[in-house]
Amino acid sequence: MIVLKLGGSVITDKDSDETVDEERLAALAGALGGYDGELVVVHGGGSFGHPAAAAHGVSRTDGTRSAEGVREVHAAMKRLNDRVVSALAGEGVPAVPVHPFSLAHRSREGELSLPVEGVEASLGEGFVPVLHGDVVVHRDEGATVVSGDELVVSLAEGLGADRVGLCSTVPGVLDDGGEVVPRIGGYDEVAGYLGESESTDVTGGMAAKVRALLDLEAPASVFGPEALEGFLAGEEPGTRIG
């Protein structure tokens, strides 16, 4: 079973509010249409969730008690999720939406709790659950952002995923010469290469991805869109983490 994340920067134009990269999304959906194994898809916020969250000062650590703010961020992510689910369905993928706001929460310490029983049941019935970055209730903080990367880790651990993939705008984690780092065994190996995202990103960018994936038991790969078919076929493109 695969847990796959489609990065928000991959499926949207992060420099233009609420703009889907239709051509890219269609190509990714086409690749997924040919996969016949168990699959959970997670997508990032891109130009939908990140601007809405930033407008309300919400991040993974900074919360809001504005119900209007929560509704606006969640609604933006639902709009993107609708587009992703529709694109997948158009390629024959039995995709169904799963909204983390209704499932997950954070403890006072910020630890994420994501029950996976419903996702597991969906897989058992032949569906492809499609989750997304979202806001979640955070004890003593109101609501904070949960990133797609966090969801990937929780799902992979809770479901016992065999493989994890993060489809990014770059062909892998890049070193300071712009070359793909083939394998990362510890964060210190690449700490100097991982900078901030150039677009609005309230979830931590590549550094957060690497930190999260290093905690997984399942093999994880970060790769570009053109490598998705190879990954689904069992290859390990891009950067292997862990």
What are the sequence ranges of the domains in the chain?
A: 2-241
pLDDT at 176: 84
Q: Is 5 one of the annotated binding-site residues?
A: yes
pLDDT at 213: 86
Strand partners of residue 180:
174
Q: Is 110 one of the annotated binding-site residues?
A: no
User: Exposure string (b/e) for 12-33, b if CB count within 10 Å is 16 or more?
Assistant: bebeeebebbeebbebbbbbbe
Q: Is 14 one of the annotated binding-site residues?
A: no
pLDDT at residue 199 greater than cutoff 80? no
Fold of 2-241: Carbamate kinase (3.40.1160)
pLDDT in tens, 152-179: 999 999 999 999 999 999 999 888 888 9
Q: Is 56 one of the annotated binding-site residues?
A: no
Q: Helices 67-90 and 22-33 sit at what angle, rounded to 10 degrees?
A: 60
Query: Which segments of 67-174 does DSSP mark as H helices, in order?
Result: 67-90, 117-124, 148-159
Q: Is 242 one of the annotated binding-site residues?
A: no
Q: Is 118 one of the annotated binding-site residues?
A: no
Q: Kindly state the average pLDDT of the residues 82-86.
A: 98
Q: Is 45 one of the annotated binding-site residues?
A: yes
Phi, psi of 73 (to 5 degrees): -65, -45
Q: Which of 222, 230, 227 is nearest to 205 (CA)?
A: 222
